[in-house]
């Protein structure tokens, strides 16, 4: 009985991970229709900002939640769709994304594809992790055989292992950053 249950769990997990390996899309500066299934879809422009964390200064969404990249993605293709996107909700936008404090606005773009209008930073499509339950959580760092990572403010992949307890604190907007307002809480 236990062996059968374990096989079912493993098959289910492999299905979710396999779902991270398909799909194609294109990059565009034009807005696309928002995805009805994405919990991070907004009706206003998304804000990507930075926060200080135990992994250094990293990218976070307006709600303070950590943003991740998938190593298998390209600037023109999101490979995390379907069941994968349920575990890793893509950061989507209606219109153009807005860079908050510490973010270079020219690094932001939109990928129009199966996840809707997904926000891209420095060539990396951005995702939240459904198991991060609060601002500052970095439970997705190095997830699934080290293929998911946080990004630095420069758009570089952070390879450092996540500590067991973490707290990210949004950094204050720097002068001349083009920030469009509050912290989004």
Query: Residue 15 domain-assigned?
Result: no
Query: Residue 171 domain-assigned?
Result: no
3-state SS class at 149: strand
Query: Residue 184 domain-assigned?
Result: no
Domain range for 109: 21-156
Query: Residue 176 domain-assigned?
Result: no
Model confidence pLDDT, tens digit, residues 4-45: 433 333 334 444 444 444 333 333 333 333 333 444 554 456
Pair 105, 39: CB distance under 8 Å: no
The count of domains in the chain is: 1
Query: Residue 178 domain-assigned?
Result: no
Pair 75, 27: CB distance under 8 Å: yes
Pair 133, 41: CB distance under 8 Å: no
Query: Residue 167 domain-assigned?
Result: no
Rounded-to-10 torsion of CA 52, 56, 61, 63 = -30
What letter does residue 72 receive in the DSSP assignment? T
Cα separation of 118 and 133, whole Å?
21
Model confidence pLDDT, tens digit, residues 37-94: 444 554 456 689 999 998 999 999 999 999 999 999 999 999 999 999 999 999 999 9
Query: Residue 99 domain-assigned?
Result: yes
């Amino acid at each position: 009985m236990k062996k059968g249950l374990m096989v079912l769990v493993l098959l289910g997990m492999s299905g979710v991970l396999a779902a991270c390996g398909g799909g194609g899309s294109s990059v565009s500066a034009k807005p696309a229709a928002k995805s009805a299934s994405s919990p991070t879809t907004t009706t206003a422009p998304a804000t990507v900002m930075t926060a200080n964390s135990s992994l250094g200064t990293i990218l976070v969404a307006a709600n303070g939640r950590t943003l991740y990249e998938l190593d298998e993605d390209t600037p023109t293709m999101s490979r995390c769709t379907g069941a994968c996107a349920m575990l890793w909700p893509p950061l989507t936008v209606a219109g153009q994304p807005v860079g908050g404090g510490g973010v270079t606005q020219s690094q932001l773009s939109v990928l129009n594809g199966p996840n809707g209008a997904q926000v891209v930073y420095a060539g990396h499509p951005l995702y939240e992790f459904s198991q991060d339950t609060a601002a500052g959580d970095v439970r997705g760092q190095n997830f699934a055989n080290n293929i998911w990572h946080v990004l630095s403010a420069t758009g570089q992949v952070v390879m450092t292992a996540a500590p067991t307890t973490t707290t990210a604190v949004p950094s204050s907007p720097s002068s001349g950053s083009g920030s469009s307002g509050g912290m989004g809480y």
